Copies of this chain bind each other. A is one copy, B any other.
Amino acid sequence: MLQLTKRTDYGLIALTHLAGHSGVRSVRSIADLYPIPRRLLAEVLKDLLHSHLVESHRGAQGGYTLARPPGEIMLSEIVEALEGAPSLTSCEGSHTENSCAVEAVCPIRSPIHVLRQGIWRMLEQTALSDLAGWPELARIPSFR
């Protein structure tokens, strides 16, 4: 099930903030700036750390920085880090362990599968910097 929860919401806020402000930023400073529960934001950033999208700096005056330039961080990576990779199979139970027997023309898996893939492809083609460039929506290719 593909969804955009508050975790992703908070993650995007934090990442765009990091993209727009150089230097180390602590969880506290970000959570105070936006109306985000501090502890929850900390959890989110930890997940982003584990996915190597941010780098942590422990101790006093510590915090987080982007692990890569915002133009190289794709939305698909962010969503996957915070909500897990979407299970692109939607007909669990109707196939054996490895793969669906009639995958090639499976009329069951088909519709939602196509839809999810389309959305996912859009996320793969859109970088964090594209979001930061708001509100120039036109900069995002898939958004036209």
Contacts and interface: CB of A to CB of B under 8 A. Distances in A.
Contacts of A132: 111
A122 B131 CA distance: 16
B143 A121 contact: yes
B1 A112 contact: no
A85 to B, nearest CB: 15
Interface string A68-86: 0000000100000000000
A119 B111 CA distance: 16
Contact of A118 (B5, B34, B90, B137): B137
A135 to B, nearest CB: 8
A115 interface: yes
Interface in A86-139: 90-91, 93-94, 107-108, 110-112, 114-119, 121-122, 126, 131-132, 134-135, 137
Q: Give the interface SS of chain A, mostly helix, strand, loop or mixed.
A: helix
Contact of A110 (B2, B35, B93, B134): B134
Given A12-B115, A13-B111, A17-B107, 14 more contacts: A8-B112, A13-B112, A16-B107, A35-B91, A35-B93, A110-B135, A111-B131, A114-B134, A118-B126, A118-B137, A118-B143, A119-B119, A119-B122, A122-B122
